[in-house]
């Protein structure tokens, strides 16, 4: 090989190297008819700000987007006791709403004895 010639045998394809069609990429899981799902798209900038907050803020943020998708509205009544489905207790949900509000991701209108009314804001 030292004479500058190329060994053509080393470039030949072997039978196991034959061009096989690429394997299809696995698809993302889809919801089934009748199942609940999270409606999007959710702006990544909004989501990353919520994710950077401590505690259960991201859980509450996802619950808000879910409820907003159900009601087809950016303003929803958030029943804090229903957050248990997302693994969030009432007190943690209240703190999370305060954090989301402080970060200007939502506005929250409180009324004594009623579920807070939350509006999802643009960032």
CA distance linking residue 27 with residue 49, whole number of Å: 28
Domain hosting 65: range is 44-120
With respect to residue 28, please indicate whether it lies within any of the assigned structural domains: no
* DSSP reduced 3-state for 106: strand
Interval 74-99 mean pLDDT: 94
| Dihedral class, residue 34 (left if φ above 0, else alpha if ψ from -120 to 50, else beta) | left
User: CB neighbours of 11 closer than 8 A, spacing ≥ 6?
Assistant: none
Cα 24 to Cα 21, 30, 78: the distances in Å are 9, 17, 41
CATH number for the domain that contains residue 59 = 1.10.10
Residue scoring higher pLDDT (59 or 8) = 59
**pLDDT tens digit sequence for 61-83:** 999 999 999 999 999 999 988 89
Mean per-residue pLDDT over the chain, rounded: 90
Q: pTM value?
A: 0.78
With respect to residue 109, please indicate whether it lies within any of the assigned structural domains: yes
Domains of the chain: total:
1
With respect to residue 108, please indicate whether it lies within any of the assigned structural domains: yes
């Amino acid at each position: 090989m030292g004479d500058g010639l190329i060994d053509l045998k080393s470039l030949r394809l072997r039978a196991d190297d034959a061009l096989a069609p690429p394997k299809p990429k696995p698809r993302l899981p889809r919801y089934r008819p009748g199942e609940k799902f999270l409606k999007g798209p959710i702006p990544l900038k909004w989501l990353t700000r919520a994710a950077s907050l401590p505690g259960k803020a991201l859980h509450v943020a996802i619950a808000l987007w879910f409820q907003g998708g159900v009601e087809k509205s950016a303003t929803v009544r958030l029943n804090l006791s229903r957050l248990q489905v997302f693994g969030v207790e009432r007190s943690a949900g209240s703190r999370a709403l305060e954090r989301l509000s402080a970060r200007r991701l939502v506005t929250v209108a409180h009324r004594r004895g009623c579920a807070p009314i939350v509006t999802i804001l643009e960032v």
